[in-house]
Amino acid sequence: MNRCLACCFAVLLSAGTVFAQVKAKAQNVPEIPYDSVANFLKLPAGLYMGEAMGVATNSKGHVFVYTRSALTRLFEFDQNGNYVREIGEGNYGFEFAHSVRVDPQDNIWVVDEGTNMVIKFNPAGRIVMVLGHRPDAVAGALASPAGPPPPAEKYLFGRPTDVAWDPQGNIFVSDGYTNHRVVKYDKNGRFLRQVGSEKPGSEPSQFNTPHGLAVDAQGNVYVADRANHRMQVFDNNLVLRAIYDNIGDSWTVCISPGPHQYLFTSNSNPNGNAPGTWDITGEIYKMELDGTIVGKFGHASKELGGFQVAHMLDCRNPNEVIVAEIESWRVQKLLLKPQPATSASR
Amino acid sequence: MRRFLLISFAASLLSGIPAAAQFSVPEIAFDSAADQLKLPDNLHLGEVAGVATNSKGDVFVYTRTGHPTISIGTARPFAHGGSRLFQFDRSGKFTREIGQDSYGFMVAQQVRIDPQDNIWIVDQMSSMVIKFDPNGRPQLLLGRKAEAERVPALPLNPEPAPAGGPGGRGPAPGPGPAPAAEGPPGRGGRGGPPGAGAQSDIFQRPTDVAWDAAGNIYVADGYGNARVAKFDKHGKFIKSWGSRGLAPGEFNTPHGIALDAQGNVYVADAGNRRIQVFDSDGTFKTLFLNSGTPSAICITPGPHQYLYSSNSNPPDDIDVNGEIYKMELNGKIVGRFGRAGKVPKEFGTVNAIDCRSENELYIGEIGNWRVQKLALHSN
């Protein structure tokens, strides 16, 4: 038993080094000034935010937060931050929140890494499609199997992390912590193709913890390849187009709508901060789609205006970025102040 | 369509070929209402393991709404919760919940309504069959839930899952056939090793329940055992038949059971990809090999009875199987409809069919967390 424990710790330690944070290579990036809206989301008495994993807005500006409280829950707020309702209460797919996104038709999608499910709610809050299959309870809790991971399957996820759509409605899922791939499905949920596999890797088109993704208006797919300290960009058929490796660890990505789209990514400070970590992490980058950095904002901090492990961004309005934080159990709305359109060196 | 049907029938009659060799099965046209059941905002269907109607047209759904919760910090891990039983009226309006927080509701497997409108549920994890009266009070209990669960579970039986079984990440015995788990501690009375064909009133992951005209109770049992257990109407154990194997009268994951008006017992022998027919004493009569992996079966009432059987896709793949067959009781296929998928009129791992009305079916889906009400076109 002792030996087993020691092995466990060794594995944990090595996993820790895998996720060690790096300082972004980009230099002389202009700072974008901003204000944080205090007390943006107002929960009724008796309701509390847990780890804020996912945040997204719909076309009306309503804010959806997928959070780990005693139970994993999905809350909706209006554009002023007033609490509206809970969605999906107690459903079979809610166990360990990871992401929420809202599609162009205002359907609400959540990604749950505890149940390995991607769940689509219609705007009324009813489940209309599920992807993946939660492992059956009847087998009981099982010790982790030894040996290499089994091949990734078309319709099963291994702790998936995020979901996005192209203009045709095709569905992209980043999958995830135990698989290391991005999967494309058609709008009816049929498997089309994937890039990556069940194995982590650092070569182009391989992933090590694809942790988030977003799709631009042309259907290109931007993947936060977190533990490889980079973002990878693919065309609509998941063929590699570019790698952006100057922005630290890409934890999450967000692309603003409209004729001129911007790309946001967070070099989040990690869970478990060594001395000095806060000095080199925590900033969010605003970029052109081609990878040119426009500017950066934010820093690691537990206090308002800083971030303690930013986990997800909403950038429906590129000048009002909403940030969900794991360790500070909160959601902040940032008002970015207008900037002259200068670009930094990459 | 009608002509096609006639030709098909004529062809098989003239040539005398068995249904298994029918070269083309007519497609039955149908419509679907995928949002027939209306739940309150704070209730959601999870994996729909069972759906059934009573004589008034009320609809009952037994669904997996979560995973059982384990209480920790004790010498043995105790498990509870995980499934719920909902009732709707014939228009689909939510009526009530039955059996809230029941000791036996863990992993829903099936719900059936007997001729007296009693509601019977089968729970795969608590290994219990529970009869509720029409008012929703427990009337009869078969089997016993294990006192505690083993965490982590014992290794699964190394026997490979048969074709059509669930694959994929981790040991996830789905509604398809699967290797059996060893019983957890405290299940010494589970009737011996899995598949031995226990002569016992204790179940091992049972799957379905049915009755004959005298009220005798037949339980398909199940993932762990591989047998049919027969009780009288008072719940007294009479006998069981079958054990794990391929021979006629043997089973590999009996996954559904239904009786016709003559008392013949139809068993969906999913792991062997066949339907076996017995008389009410368990004497083997015949088997059907023409309808894939029967994962859910149902027999219509009335003077001319039909058998519906779903060749359900495994939960990890929507690109195989998924169609439902309508058959005569002699095994001849009348037609088929549907395919695996996620949108309405497609099926995701069908686990239950209600066919109280021949052309108005309720379909319970594991994969799509929903109930579809189908209207079959009757030409």
pLDDT tens by residue, B122-140: 999 999 999 999 999 999 9
A147 touches chain B (CB under 8 A): no
Does the ipTM surpass 0.85?
A: yes
CA distances from B279 to A149, A244, B113, B120, B267 (A): 47, 70, 22, 23, 11
Tell me whether residues B316 and A93 touch, CB distance under 8 A.
no
Which residue, A58, A38, A41, A165, is CA-closest to A108?
A58
B235 to chain A, minimum CA–CA distance in Å? 25
Contacts of B306 (CB under 8 A, 6+ apart): B299, B300, B326, B327, B328, B329, B334, B355, B358
DSSP H or E stretch at residue B231? strand B227-231
**Nearest by CB: A158 against B70, B151, B169:** B169
Q: What is the rounded distance in angstroms from the CA atom of residue B89 to the CA atom of residue B74?
A: 43
Asked whether A140 and B151 are in contact (CB, 8 A), the reply is yes
Section B293-318 average pLDDT: 97
Is the pLDDT assigned to residue B225 strictly greater than 70? yes
Which residues, numbered 104 to 133 in chain A, qualify as contacts with chain B under a Cβ-Cβ cut-off of 8 Å?
A: 116, 125-127, 129-131, 133
B168 touches chain A (CB under 8 A): yes
A178 contacts on B by Cβ (under 8 Å): 169
Asked whether B315 and A157 are in contact (CB, 8 A), the reply is no
Q: What is the rounded distance in angstroms from the CA atom of residue B178 to the CA atom of residue B252?
A: 9
pLDDT at A20: 61
pLDDT at B74: 78
- Site from A133, A186, A187 to mutate, B interface, most B CB atoms within 10 angstroms: A133
Express each pLDDT in B256-302 by its tens digit: 999 999 999 999 999 999 999 999 999 999 999 999 999 999 999 99
Which residue, B339, B343, B338, B350, is CA-closest to B375?
B338
Is the pLDDT assigned to residue B171 strictly greater than 50? no
**Nearest by CB: A190 against B35, B166, B318:** B318
Residue type, A177: Y
Q: What is the rounded distance in angstroms from the CA atom of residue A328 to the CA atom of residue A300?
A: 11
Asked whether A240 and A204 are in contact (CB, 8 A), the reply is yes
Q: What is the rounded distance in angstroms from the CA atom of residue B265 to the CA atom of residue B125?
A: 24
Tell me whether residues B318 and A155 touch, CB distance under 8 A.
yes
B190 to chain A, minimum CA–CA distance in Å? 16
Express each pLDDT in B18-43 by its tens digit: 444 456 899 999 999 988 999 999 99
Which residues, numbered 204 to 233 in chain B, qualify as contacts with chain A under a Cβ-Cβ cut-off of 8 Å?
A: 205, 223
Residue with tokens 């900037």: A339
pLDDT at A341: 57
Structure tokens at A103: 């599609």
Band of pLDDT at residue B157, cut at 50, 70 and 90? low
Give the percent of chain B with pLDDT over 70. Answer: 83
Give the percent of chain B with pLDDT over 90. Answer: 76
Express each pLDDT in B66-107 by its tens digit: 999 988 877 898 999 999 999 999 999 999 999 999 999 999
- pTM, entire model: 0.88
Band of pLDDT at residue B177, cut at 50, 70 and 90? very low
B82 contacts on A by Cβ (under 8 Å): 137
A70 contacts on B by Cβ (under 8 Å): none
pLDDT at A147: 75
Mean pLDDT per 10-residue segment, chain A (346 residues):
40 43 89 94 96 98 97 97 97 98 98 97 98 88 70 96 98 97 98 97 98 98 97 98 97 98 96 88 97 97 95 98 96 88 49
